[in-house]
Amino acid sequence: MSLQPTHSSTAASRRRESGTGPSILVCRPNTRLGNTVLLTPLIEELQTNLPNARIDVLSACPAAHEVFEGFPGVYRVHELPFRGVRHPLRYAGTLLRVCRVGYDIVIDPCQNSWTARFLTRWIPGRLKIGFMHPRRKRGLDVSIPFKDAPRHMGAYPVYLVRRALFDLDPEASRADEAALAMRLSPAERQLGRQEIHRLAGDEARGTVIAVATHATGAKRFGLTWWRAMIGRLRELAPQSRFIEIRPPSGHASLPELPGFSSRRARQVAAVIDAADCFVCADSGLMHLGAATDTVTVGLFKVTLPQLYAPRRGRSCALAASDAEPEATAARIAQLLDRGA
């Protein structure tokens, strides 16, 4: 079963007669902010080609409501408890509410998630789509080979729906890959600019560079590294002003810098959006930054940029070494010069 762009299945056609499009569930029960932001190109694709669709998202990310808040096609975010095993009644209650909806289309956008495939198989739906997997062969009506899909985690869900719903060939399905997007409102952007002005001072002078030191495990760079990198970047771009994007706890890794912290993902995104450049290691914050209009520079040393590189405008991934913070600063300075 396939759909052409802006058209619908038989079930969806019946809904369209009553003024509505198909109901769609995107099944991605993951807890991480970055993986949730990486779904936004898929939501953009569905909204563009099925403008009357009602899109729901099943997620375990506490910030999922904020990530999809600006998308008019997203009707509801079903939020599973963050640590579901500790809240079995809440987990079961959420799934029961999802099952009562009766979706036209259920999408498993992830190739390797056992939980997403299990729930896709279990949740009622007229059409279920996902990627082929040698050990998860049951539960889908349309399964697409992964071998021709783009490797980036924001791109291959778009490839999936282009092939499975819109019946495009592999080459067309890889074209014009959508960028990440937070869809900030004008009011949110204005508040972000005000906060940058408060933190960095005179807006007319220099470039504002936001940095975030937090990352998990081997993706993290030490504070000595960050101070050396920032020191060298100050020399190369003397008019630059630096601020720190801090974790929700407000803990300052670089207390010598003015800092911003919030438990609201959209507020953090608005402040990043108001900066000229955002530099951080591969992390959820990197993807949040890449979903804004600021130039986001993701620093990679253990993960693969092909999978996770920032995807919007001039944002980019840089290979960085623990031993060479000055070289990283030089490459960031070159990027800023090119955009001046």
283-319 confidence digits (pLDDT tens): 999 999 999 999 999 999 999 999 999 988 889 999 9
Helices (H), 205-283: 223-236, 265-274
The span from the CA of 320 to the CA of 45, in Å, is 33
Q: In this predicted model, what pLDDT tens digit does every residue of 258-292 receive, in sequence order? A: 999 999 999 999 999 999 999 999 999 999 999 99
- Which of 101-115, 192-206, 235-249 is the least confident region? 192-206
Report pLDDT for 226: 98
Structure tokens that stand for 197 in this block: 């002005």
Which residues make beta-bridge pairs with 320?
A: none
- 138, 209: one domain: no
User: Which among 89, 66, 80 is positioned nearest to 25, based on CA atoms?
Assistant: 80
Asked which of 126, 150, 174 is the last residue of a domain, the reply is 174
Domain range enclosing 194:
186-339
Q: How confident is the model at residue 8 (pLDDT cuts 50, 70, 90)?
A: very low
Sign, CA torsion 60/99/108/182: negative
CATH number, position 203: 3.40.50.2000
Is 178's pLDDT higher than 90? no
Model confidence at 163, in pLDDT bands (50, 70, 90)?
Answer: very high
Identify whether residues 197 and 110 lie together within a single domain.
Answer: no
Q: What would the two tokens of residue 96 be? A: 């029961």
Question: Please, are residues 145 and 156 in contact by the beta-carbon 8 Å criterion?
Answer: no
**Are residues 170 and 81 part of one domain?**
yes
Q: Give me the percent of the chain exceeding a pLDDT of 70.
A: 92
Residue 15 binned pLDDT confidence (cut-offs 50, 70, 90): very low
The last residue of a domain, from among 174, 204, 226: 174
* DSSP β-ladder status, 277-281 and 295-300: parallel
| pLDDT tens, position by position, 41-54 | 999 999 999 999 99
Can you give the pLDDT at residue 38?
97
Same domain, 157 and 190: no
Tell me: pLDDT of 202 over 80.
no
How far apart, in whole angstroms, are the C-alpha atoms of residue 325 and residue 318?
12
Average pLDDT, integer, range 48-74: 96
Query: Region 134-160: what's the mean pLDDT?
Result: 90
Higher confidence at residue 9 or residue 29? Answer: 29
Residue 6 above 50 pLDDT? no
pLDDT for the residue numbered 204: 47
**Are 136 and 99 members of one domain?**
yes
Q: Which residues of 82-106 are buried (b: 16+ CB within 10 A; e: fewer)?
A: eebeeeeeebeebbeebeebebbbb
Is pLDDT of 2 > 50?
A: no
